[in-house]
Amino acid sequence: MNAPEAKRVTLRFAMTKPRAFISRRIPRSALEIIASACDYTMWDDLMPAPRDHFLRAAAEADGVLVMPTERIDAEFLAAAPRVRVVANMGVGYDNIDVPALTARGVLVTNTPDVLTEATADLAWALLMAAARRVVEGHKAIEAGAWGAWHPFYMLGQDVFGATIGIVGAGRIGAAIARRARAFNMRILYHNRRRAPQLEAALLAEYRAFDDLLRESDYVVAATPLTAETRGLFDARAFALMKDTAVFVNISRGAVVKEEDLVEALKRGRPWAAASDVFAVEPTPRDNPLLSLPNFVGTPHIGSATLRTRTDMATLAARNLVNALTGQAPLTPVNPEVWPIKLANGLR
Ligand code: DGY
Is any ligand 1 atom within 6 A of the Cβ of residue 90?
A: yes
Give the pairing type, strands 186-190 and 163-167: parallel
Which SS3 state, helix, strand or coil, does residue 186 take?
A: strand
Task: Give the pLDDT score at 6.
Answer: 53
Give the integer Cα–Cα distance in Å for 221 and 167: 5
Is any ligand 1 atom within 6 A of the Cβ of residue 92?
A: yes
- Residue 244, CA atoms < 13 Å, CB-side half-sphere: 12
Is any ligand 1 atom within 6 A of the Cβ of residue 91?
A: yes
User: Which pLDDT tens digits describe the chain residue by residue (347 residues)?
Assistant: 555 565 566 655 545 799 999 999 999 999 999 999 999 999 999 999 999 999 999 999 999 999 999 999 999 999 999 999 999 999 999 999 999 999 999 999 999 999 999 999 999 999 999 999 999 999 999 999 998 899 999 999 999 999 999 999 999 999 999 999 999 999 999 999 999 999 999 999 999 999 999 999 999 999 999 999 999 999 999 999 999 999 999 999 999 999 999 999 999 999 999 999 999 999 999 999 999 999 999 999 999 999 999 999 999 999 999 999 999 999 999 999 999 887 554 43
Task: Give the pLDDT score at 11.
Answer: 57
Residue ID of nearest Cα to ligand 1 atom 1: 90
Which SS3 state, helix, strand or coil, does residue 339 take?
A: coil
Q: In what order do the strands lie in the sheet with 107-109?
A: 9-12, 39-43, 19-22, 63-66, 85-88, 107-109
Q: In what order do the strands lie in the sheet with 163-167?
A: 205-206, 186-190, 163-167, 218-221, 246-249, 272-275, 295-297
Distance 37 CA to ligand 1 centre (A): 26
Catalytic residue among 190, 252, 309, 318: 252
Task: Give the pLDDT score at 342.
Answer: 74
Is any ligand 1 atom within 6 A of the Cβ of residue 96?
A: no
Is any ligand 1 atom within 6 A of the Cβ of residue 316?
A: no
Task: Give the pLDDT score at 15.
Answer: 52
- pTM equals 0.93
Task: Give the pLDDT score at 343.
Answer: 59
Residue 252 designated active-site: yes
Residue 53 designated active-site: no
Which atom from ligand 1 is nearest to the alpha carbon of 303? 7
Is any ligand 1 atom within 6 A of the Cβ of residue 116?
A: no
Distance 154 CA to ligand 1 centre (A): 33
Which atom from ligand 1 is nearest to the alpha carbon of 111? 2
Residue ID of nearest Cα to ligand 1 atom 2: 90
Task: Give the pLDDT score at 5.
Answer: 61
Task: Give the pLDDT score at 297.
Answer: 98
Residue ID of nearest Cα to ligand 1 atom 4: 90
Instruction: Output the CA–CA distances (angstroms, integers) from residue 234 to 115, 256, 258, 283, in the order listed.
Output: 28, 6, 8, 19
Burial grade of 341 (CB within 10 A; 0-12, 13-18, 19 or more): exposed
Task: Give the pLDDT score at 10.
Answer: 64
Q: Where would I find the H helices in 163-305?
A: 171-182, 196-202, 209-215, 235-240, 258-267
CA angle 251–175–134, rounded 5-degree value: 65
Q: Position 70: which residue type?
A: E
**CA neighbor of 188 nearest in space, from 228, 226, 234, 222:** 222
